Amino acid sequence: MIDTTLSTLDEFIGVLGELSDEAYIHRCRLIGDATVGQHVRHTIELYQCLLSGYQAGEVCYDKRKRDIRIETNIQTALNCLVSIKNELNRPDKSLSVFYELNSRQVELQSNYYREIMYNLEHTIHHQALIRVAIESSTTITLPSTFGVAPSTTKYRLACAQ
């Protein structure tokens, strides 16, 4: 699971490395007038919440920094993704995950590996949206696996045989 997450982040880094600054901040009507950078920032900040809460064993994804530099500067985003990759491989442990729902805080019991899996699935979901934005406004050819769940890739390969 961590290896899959690392390879997904590597693919993300590769795609972002091909984007122009203009494409990174371009508002795309097809994804609700959001930018690639906004989706990248959102994805990065969930990993940052997980990693920063690991030591204390408490994670709250609702309390993200919402750092405008990540969504407007590709190099900042790339640096964050590399940092996440370097910090990700940690032992599993119990975590309390907090959510703010209906004006009250809810606590769920989880663990680090489960939250890595949540972040991986979340990353792939946002990559699919980013794919729409990139393909609608650039000529960049994306990897066929970008924004596609590993289980879908496996299924497609099985069908092709």
CATH number of 2-160: 1.20.120
Helices 2-18 and 112-137: crossing angle in degrees, nearest 10, is: 20
Question: How far does Cα 4 stand from its chain's mean position?
Answer: 13
Per-domain residue ranges of the chain:
2-160
Residue 101 has a pLDDT of 87
Name the pLDDT band for 130 (thresholds 50, 70, 90): very high
Mean of the per-residue pLDDT values of the chain? 93
- pTM of the full predicted structure? 0.91
Residue 155 has a pLDDT of 67
> What does the alpha-carbon distance between residue 37 and residue 134 come to, in Å, rounded to a whole number?
11
Is the pLDDT at 152 greater than 80? The verdict is no
Is the pLDDT at 158 greater than 80? The verdict is no
Mean pLDDT of 132-143: 93
> What does the alpha-carbon distance between residue 10 and residue 25 come to, in Å, rounded to a whole number?
21
> What does the alpha-carbon distance between residue 60 and residue 97 come to, in Å, rounded to a whole number?
6
